[in-house]
Each structure stands twice: as C-alpha cells, then as structure tokens.
C-alpha cells in the first residue's frame, strides 16, 4: 500500500485516510487499532502501518469487545486511540464497552478522567447485497445513549470531522456511509480544514422547505432539490454531527421556510428522524406537519438486491414526502 | 516476606474489615443508598497484592471493590463520602460503591459489569509500556468473571502483546449465588495457562502467602516477561450484596460458612503479632473509621441541577428532560 492518496483521486475514503495520517503525525499519543488495519483492508487505513510502525498501528485479533475496552484503558493512561470497525453491526457487539464503559467513566468518576477514543465505522449502512448482519446504520443508538456521533455526508467533512473527533476529549463515533466510500467529490480538493463537532452546515439555501439530510442522503437531497427547483426552493441542512445536534442551525432554517422533511437512513422507530421531527413539532413554527423519510420500523436488510433497495430511503421517497408537505 | 511487614498488612486488612462492617450496617439501615457488595473475608487478597504496588501502578477493581481501593491507599474518609453520595467523595457522589475511582492513585475504577476491568487493564498496561514506563497493572476479578468472554479476550491480548498485567482471580466460590462447580468448567488457572499466562494458585486466606506469590509473579511482569495470573482461593463471609442480608436470603450451607470463618485471615495474622500490637492497631483503625463516618455524614450533597455535570468535556449543551 502506498502512503498518501494521489491528488487526482480525492474522494471520501481518501479524505478519511488523510485525516488519520494528519492526526497521527500531529500527535504521538494518537494510535490506531482494529482488524486488518495494517494492510488497510477497508482502504481507510492505507499507508499508516508503513509510515507509523507497529507500535502505533495495532492489528488486533478478532476480539472486538476486548480491544474496544483496551482503547478505554489506554485512554485512561493518556493515549488517544482510534478504533476501526469494518462492519457497522459490530457496534452492537461492543455496545457495552462504548456506552456502558467509555461513555460513562467521565460522569461516574466525577470528572477525574476523560476517554478520548474515536470509533471509526468505515462503511455503515447498506452495501447492497451484504444482507442482514452487514447493512445496518446504528448511529441513532449511540446518539440515544449520548455518545458524540458524527455522520459526514461530504468528503471535506469526512476529513474535518474525523480530525475533530480524534482531537475531542470525549468518546466520539464516526459513521462513514458505505455508499460514499468510493465516491470522489469535486468540491473537495484536499483542504485541511477541521470541522468542529456540533455544527450543522447549510448545504443549499432555499426559502420554501427545509430538508434535513444525513450522511449519503446529503447527495440524495441535492439531487432532489435540483430536480424540483422549478417549483420549490429547498434549503438543505446537513447536521454533520447527529449528537450533539445543532438545533440552532435547524431552527433558523425552519423559521425561514416553515416546512420540514427529514431524510435519514435510520430505522423509523426511535430513529434520528423521529427525534428531529418531534423537536420541530415541540419547538418550531411549522405551517405543515413535518415528515420523515427513513427505513421501516425494525428493518432487517434482506439479501436480494431488489429487497435491499426497497428498504433504504432514496430520491423517490424524499420527493413524495416533499410533495405531501407542500399540499 | 519479613515479619516487620506484618503489622502493616494486619492494619490494612483490619481497616478494610472495619470499614466494610460499618458500611454493611449502614447499607442495611438505609444510610447508604442502593446496596454494597461486602468484601468481608477476602481482605488478604487485596492487601497481599497491593503490598507490592506503588502509587504509580494501576489497578482495575470490581463491584466488590472497597477492599482493593483501600488496600491501594485510598482515603477511607473520601471512600465513605462517596458511598454516601457526597461532594467529598472521590467521584463527587457520581459513582458510589460500584464505581469508586481515584485516578491519582492509579485506581481506574471499580466496575459494575463482571469481567469488564481486564480489557481496560490491558489497554492501560499497553499505554504504560508504549511510553517506556515501568508501571504494572493489576486487574482484580472474581471466579464469575472467568465465564465472561471479554475477559478471556483480554488474556489473549495481554499475552500476544506481552503486556505488564497481573490478572488476579479472587475465587470466592460463588458467582453471585451460583456455586463454583456449577459455573466454571475446567478451573480458572488452567484456563489462564491455555493463553500462555504464567499461572499460580495460592491460599487467599493467608495474606503473607498472597503477598509472596504476587511478589514473585510481579517480578516477572515488571521485568517485561508478559502477563501473569494468580488465583486466590478465598471466601466471602456474607452473601452477594447487602440487599440479601436485608432480606435474610442465604444460599450457602451454614457449616460451609462456619468452616471458612475459621480461616479468617485477620486473626490468623493477628495471632502472630501478639495481643498488645493487635489491640493497638484495632483501636487506631476504629478511630480512623469513626472519623471517616463523621466526615462522610457531614459532607455536602451535590445540587440536583448539576446531575449531569462531568458527562462531557467542555460545554456540550444537554437538552432538558426531567431537569428543566
């Protein structure tokens, strides 16, 4: 594997790879651990082992629970671990170690210790054809538990948010949507800006209706907004950090538009979309009921491609929800 | 082991015993919220092991953790203040019995999940080793933890990376109420040997035996020869937690309890010190615990509006739920 990606190939995955290179170069307490990180099997960790050596790039055995709490212990002793999970559903296996251990230590110890660990899920959501146990998007669960959680939708944000996550003194989960990993992004030219956690981004300005779009659905929302541009002026808010959520940015947008649609690749029941719609209903001035576009309740993604795609929200469902909100 | 150390070992065990007996009474009386998991009977393990540790070494502890914390040098006043949920507690009343931690003394927290500390210990050991420091980590857990997958995974990590960890299994013969024979196939020390850990067993009711076994194993751990495992055969004189005492639930044969009571590590060592020495230490310890009780009872309570203080670094805004 080579070191840094070549400049003509700046995409989402390369943005994350560059962010890891930059943080490891900037701070010798940062180290990486996980399965297949040495060879860079996910693509995201390419070139780190040859550059930083086996003392800082630890290929782990297939022991997710132990190496997740290993990160917690190393953090207590002054290190800044980045743990890569190649499969999003592994978050279920280490929920105890993230939510019940790492996340709780700061409060439970009365502020004696902070746990600056980054959980990097480099390929979350459906990969189209990887079936039930490799296709979930569990970021709502971590947000519910109060773990700082980011879902970058654009390559530049993937770079900037991953760096901010590693620098943050608390545990932070970074979910990189699998459908974006291979994407290149003309808007990203390898800039080295850090994106602070907790700040949403107005991706597109508009006056008629606000779409909150998470992760890969930033792209979906841009596509839909352009396709409907002749009859509705859509503003797109990308929260970037789903917990803590930038309610002020969304409030300003909805104050202007009065209408809200959320597109989010969570399951419907207790998903991120539910939270956004509930808060909007409680606190914002809306001229129409807010709507959400998301996976069905309790979705398990089936293998057959047509069934997989039927359960993951997309442009058609978003357009229908926008139309319903405009009626 | 020399006889000069005996008064210190005795004092440390007696301090834990006195502290725990007072706590158990306070928990049953409702003066301590929740419940406590009494360590009474197991004192020789914490004291024998921690006699080999400096303030810079780390420990991870368990839900039955008061003994480990005190043996590592924690101030009993602040531990009791924590159990009473006050601002003078180590954790400012946010942790209580199962999460008592004093980072300045390398106490990386008692832990409410059985077996959870082993992997945390391995990470801390790796960090110390990576820095080139000489600290070691002792991870305490019970026989019940030997059936938790994450602990066995931690043995593997510590062994393949040759980490400076001493894993201490306090085999008190019960995993909550489940008898050892009904819960552990194959034996604890043999399992550890299967991961390539240097492994030993010791009479956990004999503080000098524990001290010397730990000294021998820690010598290898400190010299960089990788992790080790010490199984201490011990017994808790009370049940799993204080609520069982409150309810009068007993799941053990009274003859078995009585037999283990005859192996009580405190009089066992006290008999070698002489009545005058014992009486002097006992009186001083009682005074220390009396002071701790007075200190803790007078400590201020946290303000309910600060209930989520310390959750995040910096000013992450938490939206209202029950607290507006």
State the smallest CA–CA distance between residue B295 and chain A in angstroms: 19
What pLDDT digit, counting tens, does each position of B199-215 carry?
A: 999 999 999 999 999 99
Please list, in sequence order, all residues whose beta carbon lies within 8 angstroms of the beta carbon of residue B139, skipping any fewer than 6 positions away.
B59, B60, B117, B118, B120, B121, B122, B154, B165, B166, B167, B168
What pLDDT digit, counting tens, does each position of B120-175 carry?
A: 999 999 999 999 988 999 999 999 999 999 999 999 999 999 999 999 999 999 99
- Inter-CA distances, B44 with A35, A229, B178, Å: 40, 76, 23
Residue in chain B lying closest to A71 (CA): B123
- What pLDDT is attached to residue B261? 97
Element (H, E) at B16: helix B6-28
Per-residue pLDDT for B117 more than 70?
yes
Question: At B165, is the secondary structure helix, strand, or coil?
Answer: strand
Contacts of A148 in chain B (CB under 8 A): 312, 316
What pLDDT digit, counting tens, does each position of A153-201 carry?
A: 999 999 999 999 999 999 999 999 999 988 766 555 655 689 999 999 9
> Using the beta-carbon criterion (under 8 Å), do A66 and B119 form an inter-chain contact?
yes
State the smallest CA–CA distance between residue A81 and chain B in angstroms: 10
> Using the beta-carbon criterion (under 8 Å), do B310 and A67 form an inter-chain contact?
no
State phi, psi for A15 to the nearest 5 degrees.
Answer: -60, -45
Is residue A97 a contact partner of residue A68, using CB atoms and an 8 Å limit? yes
Is residue A309 a contact partner of residue A130, using CB atoms and an 8 Å limit? no
If one counts every other C-beta atom within 10 angstroms of the C-beta of residue A53, the result is 9
Please list, in sequence order, all residues whose beta carbon lies within 8 angstroms of the beta carbon of residue B304, skipping any fewer than 6 positions away.
B323
State phi, psi for B171 to the nearest 5 degrees.
Answer: -85, 95
Cβ under 8 Å to A: B residues 78-97: 89-95
Q: What percent of chain B has pLDDT over 90?
A: 88
Residue in chain A lying closest to B122 (CA): A70
Residue of A76, A80, A144 to mutate, interface with B, max B Cβ within 10 Å: A76
Which candidate from A65, A100, A113 shows the least CB-CB separation from B119?
A: A65
pLDDT confidence bin for A261, thresholds 50/70/90: very high
Residue B205 falls in which region: left (phi positive, over 0), alpha (psi -120 to 50) or beta = alpha
Q: Verify cis geometry, omega within 30 degrees of 0, for the bond prior to A323.
A: no
> Using the beta-carbon criterion (under 8 Å), do B316 and A108 form an inter-chain contact?
no
State the smallest CA–CA distance between residue B309 and chain A in angstroms: 7
Closest CA to B240 of B150, B168, B142, B152: B142
What pLDDT digit, counting tens, does each position of A60-78 carry?
A: 999 999 999 999 999 999 9
Q: What CA dihedral angle connects B184, B187, B189 and B192, to 10 degrees? A: -60
- The label of the residue with tokens 């309910």 reads B304
Which candidate from A70, A107, A247 shows the least CB-CB separation from B119?
A: A70
Per-residue pLDDT for A11 more than 90?
no
Contacts of B311 in chain A (CB under 8 A): 106-107, 146
Q: Each residue of A58-95: b (16+ CB within 10 Å) or e?
A: bebeebbbbbbbbbbbbbbbebbbbbbbbbbbbbeebb
- What pLDDT is attached to residue B190? 94
Q: How far apart are CA A113 and CA A109, in angstroms?
A: 7
Q: How far apart are CA B123 and CA A81, in angstroms?
A: 10
Closest CA to A175 of A145, A211, A137: A137
Q: How far apart are CA B324 and CA B321, in angstroms?
A: 6
- What pLDDT is attached to residue B246? 81
> Using the beta-carbon criterion (under 8 Å), do A73 and B123 form an inter-chain contact?
yes
- What pLDDT is attached to residue A3? 47
- What pLDDT is attached to residue B149? 97
Per-residue pLDDT for B266 more than 80?
yes
- What pLDDT is attached to residue B133? 86
> Using the beta-carbon criterion (under 8 Å), do B154 and A70 form an inter-chain contact?
yes
- What pLDDT is attached to residue B2? 56
Contacts of A72 in chain B (CB under 8 A): 119-120, 123
Q: How far apart are CA A184 and CA A13, in angstroms?
A: 8
What pairing do the DSSP bridges indicate for beta strands A291-295 and A172-177?
Answer: unpaired
Question: At B197, is the secondary structure helix, strand, or coil?
Answer: coil
- Inter-CA distances, B103 with A114, B53, B100, B188, Å: 11, 15, 10, 29
Residue B304 CB-density burial (10 A; 0-12 exposed, 13-18 middle, 19+ buried): exposed
> Using the beta-carbon criterion (under 8 Å), do B120 and A72 form an inter-chain contact?
yes
> In what side-by-side order are the strands of the sheet with B137-142?
B58-60, B137-142, B165-171, B228-233, B198-203
> Which residues are paired to B171 by β-bridges?
B233
Closest CA to A33 of A105, A127, A97: A97
State the smallest CA–CA distance between residue B266 and chain A in angstroms: 31
Cβ under 8 Å to A: B residues 245-304: none
- What pLDDT is attached to residue A19? 95
Is residue B42 a contact partner of residue B172, using CB atoms and an 8 Å limit? yes
The set of catalytic residues of A is 64, 134
According to the 3-state scheme, what is the secondary structure of chain A?
A: CCCCCCHHHCEHHHHHHHHHHHHHHHCCCEEEEECCCCCCCCCCCCCHHHHHCCCCEEECCCCHHHHHHHHHHHHHCCCEEEEEECCCCHHHHCHHHHHHHHHHHHHHCCCCCCCCCEEEEEEECCCCCCCHHHCCCCHHHHHHHCCEEECCCCHHHHHHHHHHHHHCCCCEEEEEEHHHHCCECCCCCCCCCCCCCCCCEEEECCCCEEEEECCCHHHHHHHHHHHCCCCCCEEEEECCEEECCCHHHHHHHHHHHCCEEEEEEEECCCCHHHHHHHHHHHHCCCCCCCEEEEECCCCCCCCCHHHHHHHCCCHHHHHHHHHHHHC
B305 part of contact set with chain A, CB < 8 Å: no
B308 part of contact set with chain A, CB < 8 Å: yes
B160 part of contact set with chain A, CB < 8 Å: yes
> Using the beta-carbon criterion (under 8 Å), do B120 and A76 form an inter-chain contact?
yes
Q: How far apart are CA A77 and CA B125, in angstroms?
A: 8
State the smallest CA–CA distance between residue B134 and chain A in angstroms: 13
Per-residue pLDDT for B322 more than 80?
no
Taking CB atoms within 8 Å and a gap of at least 24, the contacts of B72-75 are B72/B46, B72/B102, B72/B105, B72/B106, B72/B107, B73/B105, B74/B100, B74/B102, B74/B105, B74/B107
- The label of the residue with tokens 């230490």 reads B281
Contacts of A278 in chain B (CB under 8 A): none
**A–B CB contacts, 8 A cutoff, strictly below:** 149
Residue of B306, B312, B318 to mutate, interface with A, max A Cβ within 10 Å: B312
Is residue A74 a contact partner of residue A56, using CB atoms and an 8 Å limit? no
Contacts of A100 in chain B (CB under 8 A): 113, 116
Per-residue pLDDT for A2 more than 70?
no
Residue in chain B lying closest to A103 (CA): B311
What pLDDT digit, counting tens, does each position of B40-87 carry?
A: 999 999 999 999 999 999 999 999 999 999 999 999 999 999 999 999
State the smallest CA–CA distance between residue A78 and chain B in angstroms: 7
State the smallest CA–CA distance between residue A169 and chain B in angstroms: 6
> Using the beta-carbon criterion (under 8 Å), do B317 and A244 form an inter-chain contact?
yes
- Average pLDDT in the B19-31 region? 95
Q: pTM for the complete prediction? A: 0.95
- The label of the residue with tokens 């044969």 reads B253
Q: What is the mean pLDDT of chain B?
A: 94
> Using the beta-carbon criterion (under 8 Å), do B116 and A66 form an inter-chain contact?
no
Q: Each residue of A192-201: b (16+ CB within 10 Å) or e?
A: eebbebbebb
Binding-site residues on chain A for chain B (CB distance < 8 A): 31, 55, 58, 60-61, 63, 65-79, 81, 96-97, 100-101, 105-114, 146, 148, 168-170, 198, 244, 247
B243 part of contact set with chain A, CB < 8 Å: no
State phi, psi for A204 to the nearest 5 degrees.
Answer: -145, 135
């Amino acid at each position: 594997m080579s070191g840094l990606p070549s400049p003509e190939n700046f995409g989402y995955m390369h943005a994350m790879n560059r962010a890891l290179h930059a943080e490891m170069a900037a701070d010798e307490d940062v180290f990486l651990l996980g399965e297949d990180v040495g060879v860079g099997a996910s693509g995201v960790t390419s070139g780190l082992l040859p550059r930083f050596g086996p003392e800082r790039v630890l290929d782990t055995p297939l022991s997710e629970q132990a190496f997740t709490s290993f990160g917690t212990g190393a953090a207590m002793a002054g290190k800044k671990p980045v743990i890569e999970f190649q499969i999003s559903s592994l978050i279920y296996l280490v929920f105890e170690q993230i939510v019940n251990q790492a996340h709780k230590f700061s409060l439970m110890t009365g502020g004696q210790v902070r746990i600056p660990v980054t959980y990097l899920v480099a390929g979350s959501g459906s990969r189209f054809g990887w079936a039930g146990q490799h296709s979930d998007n569990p970021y709502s669960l971590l947000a519910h538990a109060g773990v700082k959680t980011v879902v970058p939708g654009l390559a530049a944000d993937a770079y900037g948010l991953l760096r901010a996550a590693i620098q943050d003194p608390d545990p932070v989960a970074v979910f990189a949507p699998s459908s974006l990993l291979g994407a290149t992004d003309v808007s990203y030219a390898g800039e080295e800006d850090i994106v602070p956690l907790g700040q949403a981004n107005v991706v597109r300005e508009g006056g008629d209706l606000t779409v909150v779009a998470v992760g890969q659905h930033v792209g979906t929302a841009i596509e839909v907004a352009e396709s409907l541009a002749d009859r509705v002026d859509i503003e797109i808010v990308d929260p970037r950090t789903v917990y803590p959520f930038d309610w002020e940015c969304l409030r300003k947008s909805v104050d202007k538009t009065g209408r809200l649609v959320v597109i989010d690749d969570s399951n419907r029941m207790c998903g991120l979309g539910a939270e956004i719609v509930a808060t909007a209903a409680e606190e914002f001035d809306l001229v129409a009921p807010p709507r959400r576009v998301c996976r069905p309740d309790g979705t398990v993604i089936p293998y057959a491609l047509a069934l997989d795609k039927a359960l993951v929200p997309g442009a058609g469902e978003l357009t229908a929800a926008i139309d319903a909100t405009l009626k | 082991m020399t006889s000069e150390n005996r008064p210190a070992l005795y004092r440390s065990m007696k301090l834990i015993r006195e502290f725990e007996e007072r706590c158990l009474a306070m928990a049953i009386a409702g003066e301590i919220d929740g419940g406590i998991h009494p360590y009474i009977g197991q004192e020789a393990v914490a004291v024998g092991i921690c006699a080999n540790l400096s303030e810079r070494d780390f420990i991870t502890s368990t839900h039955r953790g008061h003994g480990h914390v005190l043996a590592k040098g924690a101030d009993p006043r602040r531990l009791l203040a924590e159990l009473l949920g006050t601002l003078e507690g180590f954790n400012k009343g946010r942790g209580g019995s199962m999460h008592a931690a004093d980072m300045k003394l390398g106490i990386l927290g008692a832990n409410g999940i059985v077996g959870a500390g082993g992997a945390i210990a391995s990470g801390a050991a790796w960090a110390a080793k990576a820095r080139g420091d000489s600290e070691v980590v002792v991870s305490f857990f019970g026989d019940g933890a030997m059936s938790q997958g994450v602990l066995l995974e931690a043995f593997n990590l510590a062994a393949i990376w040759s980490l400076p960890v001493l894993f201490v299994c306090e085999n008190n013969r019960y995993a909550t109420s489940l008898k050892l024979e009904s819960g552990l196939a194959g034996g604890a020390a043999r399992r550890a040997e299967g991961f390539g850990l240097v492994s030993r067993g010791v009479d956990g009711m004999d503080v000098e035996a524990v001290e010397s076994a730990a000294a021998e194993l820690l010598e290898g751990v400190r010299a960089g020869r990788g992790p080790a495992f010490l199984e201490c055969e011990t017994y808790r004189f009370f049940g799993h937690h204080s609520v069982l005492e409150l309810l009068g639930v007993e799941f053990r044969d009274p003859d078995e309890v009585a037999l283990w009571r005859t192996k009580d590590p405190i009089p066992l060592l006290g008999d070698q010190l002489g009545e005058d020495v014992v009486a002097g230490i006992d009186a001083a310890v009682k005074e220390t615990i009396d002071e701790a009780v007075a200190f803790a009872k007078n400590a201020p309570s946290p303000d309910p509006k600060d209930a989520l203080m310390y959750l995040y670094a910096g000013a992450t805004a938490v939206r209202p739920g029950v607290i507006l």
